[in-house]
Chains A and B, each alone.
Chain A
Amino acid sequence: MFRYILRRLMIAVPSLLGISLVLFTVLAMAPGDPFSELVSNPNIPPEVALALRQKFGLDDPLMVRYWNWLTAMLQGDWGYSFISRINVETLIMQRIPVTLLVIGSSQLLALCIAIPVGVYAATRPYSIFDQIASTLAFIGFSLPTFFTGILLILFFSIHLDWLPFVYRADIPETGWRFFWEHFKQMIMPVVVLGMFQAGAWTRYVRSAVLDVIRLDYVTTARSKGLSEKVVITKHVLRNALIPVVTLVALQMPAIFGGAIVTEQIFRVPGIGSLIISSMLANDTPVVMAVTFVFSTLVIACNLLADILYGWLDPRISYN
């Protein structure tokens, strides 16, 4: 198992390098130049502008620039935000816990819906429950997150006035009130993201369970006199979840995309809303760094899925 994890790690590193190369190429190909304003600014003598260009290595060959950029990123030196006037890594570290909290709880919610519903629907295929669940799942992943968010705000914030629709990082209350207020403002972003994922995952779980449930070893388990609960949870679910884990990992980029939209709608102060506001304010270092963070998170999730995969199916980690 340890060697398997090590091997997976060795695969993750080249992908991270590949992604950094893609990101850097995009940046290098992009028109415009961070120092173009200096050249046109009459207060800065041309030799100063030239010295600055040399200092930051803007005229170096592309490969040298990529190497410098990569080593700086790896050392945690991500640049300086033009707008917030602090280091980018400090800014991102401030914002990232909220994002992880929202994404994590919404995925948990999605799993808590998708696994029971998918399994129950698959054990009774084509029943009324199955049909209703399938229809709802279809609606769930056809509803764009921005529209669900707007609908929830309309209903729960404006019509009923139960939940706040602006996420606040500074809640004045203390103690239990503090947690209660936090919980209340988390509900809508988490539900929006969770519902979208739950729809897609319910379908995955259902079809994966359907593939397994008629296999001979399940019949054997039943004929040994095991209870239905044990058969489903120990025999069926564990094998059915193997393909589901891969599909969930493949969905990770979409989940982060959904998180950007949700954070923007509910004004959650995470890295998703940070990337949008930085783009609107032309704050390139922050934009690049956040994109890089998202990529790293995706790779990390893929790695996690691979390890889970090896744990669920020991055959994989042996060869």
Chain B
Amino acid sequence: MAGSTLASPTTEGKLPAVASSNHSPGREAWRRFKRHKLAVFCSVILGFIVLAVLLGPWIWRVPINEIDFNARMQGPSWAHPLGTDDLGQDLLARMLYGGRISLAVGLAAMLIAISVGVVVGAVAGMSKGPVDAFLMWVTDLFLSLPQLPLLLLIFYLFNDTLKKMIGPEAGVFVLVVAVIGGLRWMPVARLVRAQFLTLREKEFVEAARALGASPWRQVTVHILPNAMGPVIVAATIDVAAAIIAESTLSFLGLGFPPDIPTWGRILFDAKDHMDVAVHWALFPGALIFITVLTINYIGDGLRDAYDPRRVL
């Protein structure tokens, strides 16, 4: 084992490889993922958060905008398990509702980033010469764009028009998702291109080419499925990054309007009352942190599971 130390501990040598007849790549990855105990634990926590956000509003039936001036900025109690804000609105209900939006933004932005990245990377990886060079130049250009300032700029310039066109909530959602997704595809494109460059020359693709498979069929049936491992890892991390980006926008007061309480927005409202209502800032902040942390750990587990250097 001279030459390299893997970035994560392996169970190499502890277990003989299980010779089962049906190990598909997905099942194989799952078997390895289960060895990363912390990642499995984090999946459970994240699953719980997602379930709570999806089902919570049906169980905890307090409306998110019920104003009660007798219960302003109260700490946790039985009536309000996570306390209330400056208008006496129940924070648990608001956070459950806002969580739906935060998670939806994360997922949708990730889907955009991955789709654009895979398409650009695949085209660049399959075509040689000027097309590849141009696409990689664009990718590098986007990589050196300052993302948050640009995000803020686009938001600032287009927000009002989109709001008028498709309504305040949908307008902001579309804009946030498109801009965050549109500024995060570059690492995926590079990754996919690198994968394509090696896979393209492999014997099984050559065999397919010799049998007369069209480029489209070579890509969709033979190359792309084999390049998906790193993309899945990148997708996981991208969800976390998109959630942070959305929260940052909302925290700066430039994201969703006040009546849509995403986690970042609640934090933005809370930050001026921190001396009297600590819980108001702590709960949404901690929730963002836990969500991001668990997603990152799951990404770490997936990275180990898809690591081609690991033979187990």
Which A residues lie at the B interface, using CB under 8 A?
15, 18-19, 22-23, 26-27, 30-32, 122, 125-126, 138-139, 141-147, 150-151, 153-154, 158, 206-207, 210-211, 213-216, 250, 252-254, 256-257, 260-261, 264-265, 275-276, 279-280, 287-288, 290-291, 294-295, 297-299, 302
Contacts and interface: CB of A to CB of B under 8 A. Distances in A.
B267 A146 contact: yes
Given A150-B274, A291-B149, A294-B146, 18 more contacts: A30-B157, A32-B157, A138-B293, A138-B300, A143-B289, A144-B289, A146-B248, A150-B267, A150-B285, A154-B278, A158-B274, A206-B7, A214-B5, A253-B143, A253-B145, A261-B251, A288-B153, A298-B145
B248 A279 contact: no
The 5 closest A-B pairs by CB, nearest first: A257-B148, A30-B157, A294-B146, A147-B285, A142-B293
A154 B274 contact: yes
Contacts of A145: 248
Contacts of B147: 253-254, 257
A280 B6 CA distance: 49
A257 B152 CA distance: 10
B275 interface: yes
B298 to A, nearest CB: 12
Nearest to B7: A207
Nearest to B292: A142
A299 B254 CA distance: 26
A22 B145 contact: yes
B267 A158 contact: no
Contact of B4 (A210, A257, A279, A297): A210
B146 A257 contact: yes
Contacts of A126: 9
A158 B274 CA distance: 8
A19 B144 contact: yes
Contacts of B311: none
Most buried by B among A254, A256, A265, A279: A279
B296 interface: yes
A96 to B, nearest CB: 14
Contact of A253 (B144, B157, B267): B144
Most buried by A among B144, B149, B252: B149
Given A144-B247, A146-B251, A253-B145, A210 B289 contact: no
A260 B251 CA distance: 11
Interface residues of B, number: 51
A275 B3 CA distance: 49
Contacts of A23: 150, 153
A125 B4 CA distance: 12
A138 B39 CA distance: 12
A138 B286 CA distance: 15
Given A18-B141, A144-B288, A261-B251, A291 B274 contact: no
Most buried by B among A22, A206, A257, A288: A257
Contact of B252 (A139, A216, A250, A276): A276
A15 B3 CA distance: 38
Contacts of B2: 214, 216
B234 interface: no
22 contacts: A18-B141, A22-B150, A31-B158, A125-B5, A138-B293, A138-B296, A144-B247, A144-B288, A146-B248, A147-B285, A154-B281, A158-B274, A210-B4, A210-B7, A252-B144, A254-B147, A260-B152, A287-B156, A291-B146, A291-B153, A297-B146, A298-B145
A298 B3 contact: no
Interface string B132-147: 0000010011011111
Contacts of A32: 157, 160-161
B53 interface: no
Contact of B152 (A146, A211, A276): A276
A9 to B, nearest CB: 15
B297 interface: yes
Given A142-B292, A144-B247, A154-B281, A256 B146 contact: yes
Contacts of A154: 274, 278, 281-282
B31 interface: no
A26 B156 CA distance: 11
Interface string B161-189: 10000000000000000000000000000
Nearest to A138: B296
Contacts of A153: 274
B35 interface: no
Nearest to A11: B140
Interface in B192-251: 240, 244, 247-248, 251
Nearest to A150: B281
B5 A210 contact: yes
A213 B5 contact: yes
Nearest to B271: A150
Interface in B97-117: none
Contacts of B149: 256-257, 260, 275, 290-291, 294-295
Given A15-B144, A147-B285, A139 B293 contact: yes
A260 B145 contact: no
B154 interface: yes
A139 to B, nearest CB: 7
Contacts of A280: 253-254
B4 A19 contact: no
Contacts of B275: 158
Contacts of A252: 144
Contacts of A295: 144-146, 149
